[in-house]
């Protein structure tokens, strides 16, 4: 079947993730073994046994979520012909792997390094993030611009749904913006547990390090278009992918525009979300209610899909 493949981002990790896939499918086991080797550490043991505090660390959570997504893909790819792919933040690397631009090993190494660099940047300049619910994204962007000053900055970091935006920046500016957003009509502003101000100017040091890593990574032209977070435009060349993956760290995740682009470009084509959870399916329902999305994350999900798609 033809489908648009979606890959989730950080926050979907939990202890036990992917173990049922490894126990049931040899193709999934092979992916986790490759991820362990690429990390130089037993990532799969951490995924399946914890402790949760270690799994939640950015440098572990990112390769864990990517490995889970690619383990699912290793199984279901025989039933799916992707026409395009997209991933939320770190999920963009999994999307490039689905499109054949990155091997599993290269993708794991990149996101592992990405997570380390993001954590280091967050330690050097602590940041904060908060989810804003019930307010349009353009309004959130305007309030963030007004709440920023010479000493502290806050930006709209994840434009996730028409009524859901995550803001990111210096703690004082995020707090200031939160109060102003409530005054502007936001239903809720929820602080997030993060190790840095992701997708904001505070990630500039991490971007520099990541761009150096990307410059030497083996990256091929994707076989199908991958919608880039930073531009919400399709990418078909390796050089453009390198540039936009670096830019992504300090740019907003333009998820609403990305999904609208895919729906417009591929009318009627179903979406399939691979990896832990069903967050992206939920966001898609808010963005484009007419679109359909099947989430495949567990062995049961995958088994049912494989039987029905046979």
Q: pLDDT by residue (tens digit) across 73-129?
A: 999 999 999 999 999 999 999 999 999 999 999 999 999 999 999 999 999 999 999
- Whether residues 103 and 239 share a domain: the answer is yes
- Whether residues 226 and 133 share a domain: the answer is no
- Whether residues 46 and 99 share a domain: the answer is yes
- Whether residues 286 and 217 share a domain: the answer is yes
Domain assignment of residue 179, given as a range: 128-193
Q: Which one of 172, 193, 214 terminates a domain?
A: 193
- Whether residues 161 and 288 share a domain: the answer is no
- Whether residues 177 and 213 share a domain: the answer is no
Q: What is the CATH number of the domain that holds 258?
A: 3.40.366.10
- Whether residues 75 and 42 share a domain: the answer is yes
The pLDDT value given to residue 109: 97
88 a catalytic residue: no
**How many domains does one find in the chain?**
2
Taking 70 as the pLDDT cut, the residues of the chain under it are none
- Whether residues 218 and 87 share a domain: the answer is yes
- Angstrom distance (rounded) from CA 173 to CA 187: 19
Among candidate residues 44, 59, 89, 295, the one labeled active-site is: 89
- Whether residues 159 and 50 share a domain: the answer is no
pTM for the model stands at: 0.97
- Whether residues 29 and 163 share a domain: the answer is no
Among candidate residues 119, 199, 200, 295, the one labeled active-site is: 199
- Whether residues 65 and 94 share a domain: the answer is yes
- Whether residues 171 and 89 share a domain: the answer is no
The pLDDT value given to residue 230: 98
26 a catalytic residue: no
The pLDDT value given to residue 293: 98
């Amino acid at each position: 079947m033809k489908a648009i493949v979606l890959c989730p981002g950080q926050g979907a990790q939990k202890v036990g993730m992917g173990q049922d896939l490894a126990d049931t499918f040899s193709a999934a086991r092979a992916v986790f073994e490759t991820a362990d080797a690429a990390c130089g550490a037993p990532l799969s043991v951490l995924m399946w046994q914890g402790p949760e505090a270690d799994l939640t660390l950015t440098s572990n959570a990112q390769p864990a979520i990517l490995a889970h997504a690619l383990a699912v893909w290793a199984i279901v790819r025989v039933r799916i012909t992707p026409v395009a792919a997209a991933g939320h933040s770190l999920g963009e690397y999994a999307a490039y792997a689905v499109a054949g631009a990155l091997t599993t090993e290269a993708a794991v190494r990149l996101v592992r390094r990405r997570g380390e660099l993001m954590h280091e940047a967050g330690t050097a300049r602590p940041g904060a993030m908060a989810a804003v619910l019930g307010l349009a994204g353009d309004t959130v962007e305007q309030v963030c611009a007004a709440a920023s000053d010479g000493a502290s900055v806050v930006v709209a970091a994840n434009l996730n749904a028409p009524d859901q935006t995550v803001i990111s920046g210096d703690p004082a500016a995020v707090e200031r913006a939160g109060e102003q957003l409530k005054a502007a009509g936001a239903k809720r502003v929820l602080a997030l547990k993060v190790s840095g101000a992701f997708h904001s100017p505070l990630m500039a040091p991490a971007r520099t390090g990541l761009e150096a890593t990307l410059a030497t990574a083996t990256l091929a032209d994707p076989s199908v278009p991958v919608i880039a977070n930073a531009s919400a435009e399709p990418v078909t060349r390796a050089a453009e992918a390198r540039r936009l993956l670096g830019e992504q760290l300090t740019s907003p995740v333009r998820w609403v525009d990305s999904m609208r682009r895919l729906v417009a470009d591929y009318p009627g084509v179903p979406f399939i979300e691979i990896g832990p959870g069903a967050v992206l399916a939920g966001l898609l329902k808010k963005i484009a209610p007419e679109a359909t999305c099947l989430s495949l994350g567990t062995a049961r999900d995958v088994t049912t899909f494989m039987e029905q798609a046979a």
